[in-house]
Amino acid sequence: MKKIASLFAALVLGAGVQFAAFAQIVAPDALIKSVTDDVIAIVRQDKAIQSGDTRKAVDLVETKVLPYFDFGHMTRLAVGKDWRQANADQKAVLTHEFKNLLVRTYSNALTQYRNQQIDFKPLKSKPEDTDVLVRTEVRQPGAKAVQIDYNLEKQGDNWKVYDVMVAGVSLVTNYRDSFAQEVRAGGIDGLIKSLKDKNKQLETTVSAKK
């Protein structure tokens, strides 16, 4: 799973860089290919990230990725039916903490990126579609290829990612069972506390690597 996480991190990073600049003139698949190629070239040359500088990876993700992912939509999918139990303040905190969890988890995984080959599949969509799936396959010598697919939604003139599927498993809905358990045990506030605790643990790991 650690290898899959590192592959996902590299691709998520690529999907975010310069997203807005290309969104109006390039199809979603061409967009992800273009920016992914650019970012991977940068990561391959960044000795600090390669040596495990998670803080630098976090800064990079926060700067380049966050504006182009719909974390509100992602959080709603992850929390599922229990989302209706949360009030407005709780929803805001859940979205913030889930965003931090994803950023810290995959920034840490990004430091493990090692020269994978990425194949981009043809986009099956119509010009009028506002919800598309961009499919990719990540290959590495001596390892089984991993399929990583992106769900993107068109919002105004921009495309935003709201889910990523690794080997057919949805990133956000993969959290749903554990989130539901937390809600059953301690309500929405219990889930919030659990997310905050996980983020503190990850932040400690990041600080230790400075």
Domains of the chain by residue range: 2-208
160: confidence class by pLDDT, cuts 50, 70, 90 = confident
pLDDT digits (tens, 9 = 90+) for 103-158: 888 777 767 777 778 899 999 898 899 999 999 998 888 888 889 898 999 988 78
Find how far residue 1's CA is from the centre of its chain: 15
pLDDT digits (tens, 9 = 90+) for 40-90: 776 787 888 888 888 887 887 787 777 778 999 999 999 999 999 999 999
What's the predicted TM-score (pTM) here?
Answer: 0.80
Tokens (6 digits) for 101: 């969890």
Strand order, beta sheet including 117-120? 117-120, 131-140, 143-155, 158-166, 169-170
Q: Which CATH superfamily is domain 2-208 in?
A: Tgt2/MlaC (3.10.450.710)
